[in-house]
C-alpha cells in the first residue's frame, strides 16, 4: 500500500491527480497531458510498482516500467516528460 508520505511526492502544481488510493495512482502532466497509472500490488517489496503510460486520454495504456517506490515512479515519469522526441525510424 502507498502511505500518506509516499503520496506527498505528487506535486499538484506539476501533476493533475486524477485518482489516488492506497494501491493505485493516476496522474496527468499539466505540461504534456501525458498520463500515468501506477499500480502497487505488493508494496513495499522492491520492484512492486508497475508503471503504465499513455500519451493521450483516448489512447490505451502501455506498460512503461517498474519501480521500487512511488517516488521513483514519479521521477521516471518526469524524466520521460523532459526527454526530447525521438526521431521516427522507418525500415
Per-residue pLDDT of the chain (91 residues; tens, 9 = 90+): 777 787 888 888 888 989 988 789 999 988 888 899 999 887 566 568 899 999 999 999 999 888 888 888 888 776 655 544 445 455 4
Query: What pLDDT does residue 35 have?
Result: 92
Note the pLDDT of residue 22.
Answer: 79
The H or E element spanning position 24 is strand 24-29
* Residue-level pLDDT at 74: 84
The DSSP H or E segment spanning 15 is strand 15-20
Q: 11-14: which pairs have CB atoms within 8 A and are 24 or more residues apart?
A: 14/78
Place of cell 515512479: 73
Amino acid at each position: 500500500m502507498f502511505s500518506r508520505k509516499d503520496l506527498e511526492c505528487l506535486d499538484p502544481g506539476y501533476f493533475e491527480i486524477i485518482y489516488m488510493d492506497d494501491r493505485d495512482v493516476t496522474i496527468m502532466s499539466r505540461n504534456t497531458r501525458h498520463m500515468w497509472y501506477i499500480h502497487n500490488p505488493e508494496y513495499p517489496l522492491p520492484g512492486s510498482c508497475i508503471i503504465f503510460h499513455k500519451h493521450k486520454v483516448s489512447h490505451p495504456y502501455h506498460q512503461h516500467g517498474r519501480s521500487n517506490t512511488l517516488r521513483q515512479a514519479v521521477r521516471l515519469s518526469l524524466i520521460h516528460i523532459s526527454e526530447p522526441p525521438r526521431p521516427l525510424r522507418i525500415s
